[in-house]
Amino acid sequence: MNRVFIVLLLLFPLTGYCQNFIGKTRTRVIKELQHQVAKNDSLTITLTENDSVVIYSIKGPAVLPADFIYGFDKSGKCRSEKVVAGCEACFNKYLQNALDNKRYKWKKINENQYISTYAARMMIELPPENKDFSYTVLSTEWTKELYTMLKGN
């Protein structure tokens, strides 16, 4: 019981990040992730970056391992977040946490995709054969007509 509590306690600070960096600037994303690294000195967290992505990796004996890969457009805005979990159970917990975010009201539209509210304009995509236990949150620019068609209303 105590182990479960510790795992949840260690995971809690990380769960708030899923989807919340979409639309933010690269500088802001890096600053917030660096703050997260400084706050969690008991975990193995690495932060790496190149021209188009920032990768936040977390590992540790009492945490669900994962890589969070933030993709940026030419203007420096975060347009995607790929979560690659270290195991199937980890993947399921991260995905469920994302889907439970009430702000986006995720709706499953097929086996591999979820859409948010029209105002949020986001989509979650899962690979057809998810061998690497990943999903991607994408910023979209759909029209109201396309959104209505996707939603099925």
Q: What does the domain layout of the chain look like in residue ranges?
A: 2-151
Is the confidence at residue 34, as pLDDT, over 50?
Answer: yes
Mean pLDDT of 97-116: 96
Q: Mind giving me the DSSP string for 6-30?
A: HHHHHHHHHHTTTTTTTTSBHHHHH
Q: Give this prediction's pTM.
A: 0.84
List all residues 6 or more positions away from 38 whose beta carbon is below 8 Å from its beta carbon.
none
Is the confidence at residue 26, as pLDDT, over 90?
Answer: yes
**Region of poorest pLDDT, from 6-10, 25-29, 139-143:** 6-10
Mean pLDDT of 36-63: 86
Mean pLDDT of 117-127: 96
Which run of H or of E encompasses 82? strand 78-85
- For residue 120, give both structure tokens: 């949020």
Is the confidence at residue 23, as pLDDT, over 90?
Answer: yes
